[in-house]
C-alpha cells in the first residue's frame, strides 16, 4: 500500500463528442439523449460509484468557424460543441450524487466577477460544497465577438484581467462571515448584518461593490482548476490553481511540466501538494491486448481524415489547412490559440520525427490495453512524479467511462493507488485526503 493516492477527474461535454473526433460515429455512442436529463444523471452516478474526485465540463462560448472560414465542417463532422449550457446540467447531476465534485468552465475575459461569484456560490451551496471552477481566459475571436467585443485581447492583458477577476470573486465569497444566518424567529433576526460587508473591489479591469446576496458556502470558494501552459499561464496556475489539466505527449513531457509548475509555487508561498497536476488520457479497454487493439483500430477508422485538423484549428486559433509550419501558425494566430495544444503538436513532431501537417492531422494518442496494462501505465506515470492523477477523457460516451470505472478503477484500488471510499464531505477535502 502507498500513502500517496492518485486523483481521477472526468472530462465531459454537453454534446456528442469530446476530443476524439470520430467516437460519436460508433454504434454504441449515445446520441439521442443529449437533451435528456437522464444522460447527465447516469454519468454522474457512474463516476461517483467509482469514487472519482470530480467531473468538469469543458466549454467554448460559441460555434468554431476557423477551419475553412466557416462552421460547416465543425457541424458536419461533430466537433466539440456544447449543445447545452453546462450550468444547466450540473444541478441535475448534483441532485443524484453526494460526493462527486462538479466543475464548470467560466471565462474571466468574457464574464463579470459578480456573476461568476454568484453563480458558483449558488451551486456550491446546492451541492453541499462540491463545485470547481475551470478558470479560462478564452482564446478565440469568435467567443469575444459573441460577447460584443471586436476580438480577443492579447494573452498578457487576458491574464492581467484574470488575476483581478479571481481576486474580486474571492472578495465577494468572503463578504459574508460564517454563521451570518441566525434565523432567530423569536428575536426577529434572520441575518446578522454585522457579519456581512461591502466588497468595494476596484481594479484596472473590473470593479464590484458587493456583497453577494447569499451566505458563505461550504467551501467558501470553489476548487480552482486551470489549464494554461504558457509561461504566464503556469504562473497563474502556480498562484491560484488546485487542479491543473494538461496534455503532455510523453511521460518525460509530463515530468518536465509538473516539475516546472510545482517549482513556481514557492514564490506564491504555496506547497507543491497544494496543486494537483492531472494529464489527460483516453482509453480503449479489452479483455485481451488483441481485443483492445481491434477495438482501437475500429474506433480510429471512424475519424474523418480532416476532422483532427479541424479540431486543432479551433484549439490553436488558426485555419491549419492553410498553414505549413509552426512559424507560419504563430504569424497567423494574432491573439488566438491555446498554448497547451500547440505544445502537444510540437512534442509529437519532436518525438515521432514527423512534419507539422502530419502532426496537426494526427489523432491524440490513446491508452490501449487490458485493465491491468492500462493500470500499469497510470501507475508508472504516477510513481515517476509525472502527475498527481489523471483527467479521463471519453471516446465512446458513456461506454468508455463505464468500462474504465468497472474494470480499471478496481485494479487501481487493488494496488492501493486509488481510494475505495470518499474521505471528506467537500471536493476540496477529498483532494486533500485521497
Burial of 122 (0-12, 13-18, 19+ CB in 10 A): middle
Residue 125: all three cell numbers together: 451551496
Please, what is the Cα angle at 191 between 190 and 193, to 5 degrees? 140
Question: What is the rounded end-to-end Cα distance, in angstroms, of the chain?
Answer: 13
Strand-pairing partners, residue 162, are none
Strands 189-191 and 7-12: unpaired
Residue 430 contacts residue 424 (beta carbons within 8 Å)? yes
159-185 burial by CB neighbour count: b if 16+ within 10 A, else e?
A: bbbbbbbbebbbbbbbbbeeebbeeee
At 224 the three-state DSSP class reads strand
**SS3 state at 179:** coil
CB atoms within 10 A of CB 251: 16
Distances from the Cα of 182 to the Cαs of 66, 190, 298, in angstroms?
54, 6, 61
Strands 207-208, 181-184: parallel, antiparallel or unpaired by DSSP? unpaired
CA nearest neighbour of 24 among 297, 338, 295, 396: 396
Query: Residue 174 is placed in which grid cell?
Result: 468572503
Cell of 346: 510540437
Question: What pLDDT, on the 0 to 100 scale, is given for residue 328?
Answer: 82
Whole-angstrom distance, CA of residue 388 vs CA of residue 394: 20
Encode the chain (434 residues) as per-residue pLDDT tens digits: 447 999 999 999 999 888 898 999 999 999 999 999 999 999 999 999 999 999 999 998 998 888 888 888 888 888 888 999 999 999 999 999 999 999 999 999 999 999 999 999 999 999 999 999 999 999 899 999 999 999 999 999 999 999 999 999 999 999 999 999 999 999 999 999 999 999 999 999 999 999 999 999 999 999 999 997 889 999 999 999 999 999 898 999 999 999 999 999 999 999 999 999 999 999 999 999 999 999 999 999 999 878 888 888 877 888 888 887 888 888 887 777 777 777 778 888 888 888 888 788 777 789 999 999 999 999 999 999 999 999 999 999 999 999 999 999 999 999 999 999 999 999 999 999 87
pLDDT of residue 169: 98
Angstrom distance (rounded) from CA 234 to CA 348: 21
Q: Are 269 and 349 in contact (CB under 8 A)?
A: no
Pairing assessment for the beta strands 189-191 and 181-184 based on DSSP bridges = antiparallel
> Cα–Cα distance between 206 and 114 in angstroms, integer?
10
Q: What gap in Å lies between CA 153 and CA 160, rounded to an integer?
A: 11
Beta partners for 223? 132
- The half-sphere exposure of 13 on its side-chain side, counting CA atoms within 13 A, is 25
pTM listed for this prediction? 0.93
Residue 315: predicted pLDDT: 79
The strand pair at 276-281 and 389-392 is best described as parallel
- In angstroms, the CA 400 to CA 420 distance is 20
DSSP 404: I
Angle at 428 between CA 195 and CA 99, to 5 degrees: 105
- CA–CA dist 18, 259 (Å, integer): 28
Q: What are phi and psi of 362, to 5 degrees?
A: -85, 125
pLDDT on residue 74:
85
Q: Within the chain, how many helices (H) and strands (E) appear?
A: 17, 14
Q: Where are the alpha helices (DSSP H) in 55-150?
A: 72-76, 86-95, 113-127, 141-146
Chain centre distance of CA 156: 22
CA angle, 339 then 342 then 345, to 5°: 155
Residue 1: per-residue pLDDT: 42
The rounded distance, in Å, linking the Cα atoms of 297 and 284 is: 10
Amino acid at each position: 500500500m502507498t500513502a500517496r493516492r492518485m486523483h481521477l477527474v472526468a472530462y465531459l461535454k454537453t454534446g456528442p463528442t469530446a476530443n476524439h473526433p470520430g467516437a460519436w460515429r460508433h454504434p454504441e455512442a449515445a446520441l439521442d439523449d443529449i437533451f435528456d436529463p437522464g444522460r447527465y444523471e447516469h454519468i454522474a452516478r457512474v463516476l461517483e460509484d467509482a469514487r472519482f474526485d470530480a467531473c468538469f465540463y469543458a466549454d467554448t462560448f460559441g460555434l468554431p468557424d476557423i477551419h475553412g472560414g466557416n462552421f460547416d465542417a465543425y457541424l458536419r463532422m461533430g466537433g466539440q460543441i456544447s449543445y447545452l449550457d453546462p450550468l444547466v446540467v450540473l444541478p441535475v447531476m448534483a441532485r443524484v450524487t453526494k460526493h462527486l465534485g462538479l466543475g464548470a468552465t467560466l471565462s474571466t475575459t468574457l464574464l463579470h466577477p459578480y456573476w461568476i461569484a454568484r453563480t458558483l456560490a449558488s451551486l456550491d451551496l446546492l451541492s453541499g460544497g462540491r463545485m470547481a471552477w475551470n478558470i479560462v481566459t478564452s482564446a478565440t475571436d469568435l467567443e469575444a465577438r459573441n460577447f460584443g467585443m471586436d476580438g480577443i485581447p492579447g494573452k498578457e492583458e487576458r491574464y492581467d484581467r484574470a488575476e483581478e477577476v479571481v481576486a474580486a470573486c474571492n472578495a465577494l465569497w468572503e463578504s459574508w462571515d460564517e454563521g451570518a444566518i441566525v434565523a432567530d424567529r423569536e428575536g426577529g433576526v434572520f441575518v446578522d448584518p454585522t457579519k456581512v460587508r461591502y466588497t468595494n473591489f476596484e481594479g484596472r479591469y473590473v470593479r464590484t461593490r458587493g456583497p453577494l446576496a447569499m451566505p458563505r458556502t461550504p467551501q467558501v470558494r470553489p476548487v480552482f482548476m486551470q489549464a494554461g501552459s504558457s509561461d504566464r499561464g503556469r504562473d497563474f496556475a502556480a498562484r491560484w490553481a488546485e487542479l491543473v489539466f494538461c496534455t503532455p505527449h510523453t511521460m518525460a513531457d509530463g515530468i518536465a511540466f509538473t516539475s516546472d509548475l510545482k517549482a513556481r509555487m514557492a514564490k506564491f508561498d504555496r506547497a507543491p501538494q497544494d496543486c494537483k497536476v492531472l494529464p489527460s488520457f483516453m482509453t480503449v479497454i479489452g479483455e485481451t491486448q488483441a481485443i483492445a487493439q481491434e477495438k482501437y483500430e475500429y474506433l480510429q477508422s471512424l475519424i474523418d481524415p480532416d476532422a483532427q485538423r479541424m479540431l486543432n484549428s479551433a484549439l490553436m486559433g488558426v485555419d491549419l489547412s492553410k498553414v505549413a509550419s509552426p512559424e507560419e501558425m504563430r504569424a497567423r494566430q494574432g491573439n488566438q490559440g491555446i498554448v497547451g495544444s500547440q505544445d502537444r503538436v510540437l512534442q509529437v513532431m519532436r518525438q515521432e520525427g514527423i512534419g507539422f501537417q502530419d502532426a496537426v492531422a494526427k489523432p491524440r494518442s490513446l491508452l490501449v490495453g487490458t485493465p491491468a496494462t492500462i493500470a500499469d501505465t497510470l501507475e508508472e506515470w504516477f510513481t515517476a512524479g509525472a502527475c498527481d492523477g489523471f483527467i479521463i477523457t471519453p471516446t465512446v460516451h458513456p461506454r468508455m467511462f463505464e468500462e474504465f470505472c468497472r474494470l480499471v478503477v478496481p485494479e487501481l484500488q487493488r494496488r492501493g493507488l486509488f481510494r475505495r471510499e470518499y474521505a471528506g464531505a467537500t471536493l476540496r477535502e477529498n483532494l486533500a485526503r485521497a
